Amino acid sequence: MEKFIRNTADAVIYRKVMTDDEYEILLIQRKNPPFQGNFALPGGFVEYGESVEEACIREAKEETNLDVKIERLIGVYSKPNRDPRGHTITAAFLCVPPENSNPLGCDDAKNAKFFKISKILSMELAFDHKDIIRGALRQINQIKI
């Protein structure tokens, strides 16, 4: 059996809620295994000939119907067991959606919805996405974890 590492890109799409001065992050509900039905960050596999930045933008569009803008790299997450399908390394990016955007669950996302950070921190998320969100929060200085 041949072993190989796969590359993915994940998007932490965030916006500030003006009514209560809190941030929200967009999560998708997974349509397929693994973690079918669980919430996760929009993201997916990098295609041959594509940069991780291009994959991040493409996957965000495919799963949420939003044209996001990358602000910065959050980090690279590479624990060998982070994905039950095999060793997968992801580049996670902090992204912003267009103003007044309404996400729509598309492609392999059953649903796409913004959640307040206070809610997300108590949710069970797919993969290591809560770790990625914690990394994003350190960058946007929303809360100390």
pLDDT band at 2 (very low <50, low <70, confident <90, very high): low
CATH domain 6-140 topology: Nucleoside Triphosphate Pyrophosphohydrolase (3.90.79)
Across 93-115, b (16+ Cβ under 10 Å) vs e yields bbbbbeeebebebbeebeebebe
Give the pLDDT mean for 116-121. 93
- Around 66, how many Cα atoms within 13 Å sit in the side-chain half-sphere? 30
Instruction: Return d(Cα 38, Cα 131) in angstroms, integer.
Output: 16
Instruction: Return d(Cα 64, Cα 21) in angstroms, integer.
Output: 24
- The reported pTM is 0.93
Q: Which amino acid is at 28?
A: I
As a whole number, the mean pLDDT across the chain is 93
pLDDT tens digit sequence for 11-53: 999 998 877 778 999 999 999 999 999 999 999 999 999 999 9
Give the pLDDT mean for 73-78. 97
Angle at 64 (CA atoms; ends 113, 134), nearest 5 degrees:
60
Residue that is written with structure tokens 């980090």 in the block = 75
Instruction: Return d(Cα 114, Cα 84) in angstroms, integer.
Output: 26
Instruction: Return d(Cα 140, Cα 53) in angstroms, integer.
Output: 19
At residue 145, the pLDDT reads 39
pLDDT greater at residue 118 or residue 113: 113
Q: 70, 54 in Cβ contact below 8 A?
A: no
Percent of the chain residues past pLDDT 70, beyond the cut: 96
> Is residue 143 over pLDDT 50?
no
At residue 21, the pLDDT reads 76
Give the pLDDT mean for 60-77. 97
> Is residue 142 over pLDDT 60?
no
Across 35-44, b (16+ Cβ under 10 Å) vs e yields beebbbbbbb
